Amino acid sequence: MISSSRRWGTLVVACLAVVLLSIDLTVLHLAAPKLVQDMRPSATQFLWIVDVYGFALAGLLVTMGNVGDRIGRRKLLLVGLVAFAGASALTAYAPTPELLIAARALLGVAGATVMPSTLSIIRNVFTSPRERATAVGIWSSVSALGFALGPVVGGVLLDHFWWGSVFLVNVPVAALIVVAGALVLPESRNPRPGRLDLVSVPLSIAGVIAVIYAVKNAAHDGLTAPGVLVAAAVGVAALTLFVRRQRRLAEPLIDVRLFHHRAFSGAVGANVVCVFSMLAASLTFAQYFQLVLGWSPLASGLASLPGGLGAAVGGALASPLVGLLGRARVVALGLALGAVAFVLYSGFGTDTGYPYMLLAMVVAGFGNGFTFAVTGDTILASVPRERAGAASAIAETGQEMGGALGIAVLGSVLNGAYRDGLHLPSGVPGQLAGQVGESLGGALEIAATLPAQVADALVRAARLAFLEGMRTTLVTGAALLAVLAVAVLFALRGVPREIPEVVLDDAGHAEDEPATVPGFGK
């Protein structure tokens, strides 16, 4: 039996690890201008610098979750953190774009070992349903806060140091977590893991990476681009073969039968759509704050911080709310708050006061906190502790796909609405119209080269077109969240406030399958 102090100490270590990853996911966007200025990568190289981390991370989550179940989650987490520190140092001092891409890929591999390990360790340490729900809520809160802290930390570092400092800071933080983890974390693994299927591993990696690659590039090159169609075909084929193989294996990487249970599927779906909307909104506001309002990266990061604080508070309040309202209502409330926030967001303009922005961001933060805390606990509680690594990997892979889809789909809506609403003022050369219509950033760059009167007219027209596109995008996101809020009331209907422990018998089968628990039927 693990003592109470050690359990909560384990939660602190897991939260520190997830903060490290959350911050790292957001700082590169701030560092990009200085990186481009110093390293001069080509357009293709820059896209790979930005995307390769996510490709490696998403592609390996399922495999690493299963590896942790087999060799030990504590061991995998500590090894992953050491690798993360080393890859961060390589990234910070990479002398060429090619080496930077390779270092970012290694960073993604290391991140894939850390992400599922933190949640699966929490699942194995907190065996009481109430304590587990509280711990997952705190973990979700800290994760959300990490996303909000990323722009702030990055802005402070970039104001004083070179672009590599945003990665180099990971090294001492990771070293601190490794020392604390070695002292505090208990080891846990699946006592009957079975053989790791060497055919399923490459199928899962190829399928996930190809699908995310296709989604990301479809937003930029269009659905009919040859590379997009080939990647989509490879991804769908690999994932289809993967699912068929999992159904035949005695010890699959993913037990696809879990998706027959509406509580599990509903929780994963809510997670995916919430990330879909959240990351698309984050990308939109990064442009709004800096390109429409003209704020610095640090000011933009500080302005966004209350949203992360709201998510942290919402995650902490989720567990007690579940006791009062039930899981379905709390998740539906979180999604409904997200829809309300998106409607409030759509009112942002060039002269919007910060108190109005603050209200919208805090409402969205509370909604995200409620949703992620409850769905995360529902997913983990649906499987035996021995398979927690695989279950958390499913959730996090879904989030990666949701983020890619959100940026691609809602990003495409934003770009399309911007192009349709842009009316070029007289005096703008026709040969520059394409670049002006590509993005608000492109329009502002062109404006800097034009005579003052023409430049001012172009800036006004581009910002107004962007705001119209932003409103269309946010209203679309609000409608999606509202529909999902209603769907979740049915998907999670009847799921117990405290989900009973699912345990394995001597043969490695669940003694209390989720399908026999109220609310977990098909």
Q: What is the pLDDT of residues 477-488, one digit of tens each?
A: 888 889 888 888
CA distances in angstroms from 182 to 171, 175, 178, 245, listed in the order given: 17, 11, 6, 37
Distance from CA of residue 23 to its chain's centroid?
A: 11
Dump pLDDT digits (tens) for 412-448.
777 777 877 878 777 777 767 767 776 777 777 788 8
More confident residue, 493 or 169: 169
pLDDT at 509 over 60: no
What's the whole-number mean pLDDT along residues 172-198?
82
The rounded distance, in Å, linking the Cα atoms of 364 and 480 is 14
**Percentage of residues in the chain with pLDDT exceeding 90?**
10
At residue 103, the pLDDT reads 92
More confident residue, 402 or 327: 327
pLDDT band at 389 (very low <50, low <70, confident <90, very high): low
Question: Mean pLDDT score of the chain, rounded to an integer?
Answer: 79
> What tokens does 419 get?
């192009």
Ranking 21-30, 62-71, 217-226, 350-359 by mean pLDDT, the lowest is: 217-226
At residue 386, the pLDDT reads 64
The rounded distance, in Å, linking the Cα atoms of 501 and 367 is 27
The rounded distance, in Å, linking the Cα atoms of 311 and 362 is 8
At residue 518, the pLDDT reads 41
Torsion of CA 350, 356, 360, 361, to 10 degrees: 80
User: What does the chain come to in residues?
Assistant: 522
The rounded distance, in Å, linking the Cα atoms of 103 and 108 is 9
pTM of this structure? 0.75
At residue 44, the pLDDT reads 67
pLDDT at 521 over 60: no
pLDDT at 178 over 80: yes
More confident residue, 333 or 50: 333
At residue 29, the pLDDT reads 66
At residue 123, the pLDDT reads 77
The rounded distance, in Å, linking the Cα atoms of 517 and 188 is 26
Dump pLDDT digits (tens) for 339-363.
999 999 888 888 888 899 899 989 9
Question: What single DSSP character describes residue 504?
Answer: B
User: Do 298 and 160 form a contact (C-beta atoms < 8 A)?
Assistant: no
> Which residue from 497, 494, 512 is spatially nearest to 385, judged by alpha carbons?
512
DSSP string, 153-206: HHHHHHHHS-TTHHHHTHHHHHHHHHHHHHHHPPP---SS-----TTHHHHHHH
Ranking 18-27, 77-86, 94-103, 330-339 by mean pLDDT, the lowest is: 18-27
More confident residue, 363 or 42: 363
At residue 522, the pLDDT reads 37
Dump pLDDT digits (tens) for 317-333.
888 888 888 888 998 99
Burial 321-346 (b: 16+ CB within 10 A, else e): bbeeebbbbbbbbbbbbbbbbbbbbb
> What tokens does 435 get?
């670049």
pLDDT at 219 over 70: no
pLDDT at 189 over 80: no
User: Do 187 and 117 form a contact (C-beta atoms < 8 A)?
Assistant: no
At residue 176, the pLDDT reads 92
At residue 194, the pLDDT reads 67
Angle at the Cα of 227 from the Cα atoms of 224 and 230, rounded to 5 degrees: 90
pLDDT at 151 over 60: yes
Dump pLDDT digits (tens) for 262-291.
777 778 888 787 777 777 777 777 778 878
> What tokens does 267 get?
């929780």
At residue 79, the pLDDT reads 92
The rounded distance, in Å, linking the Cα atoms of 367 and 371 is 6
pLDDT at 85 over 90: yes
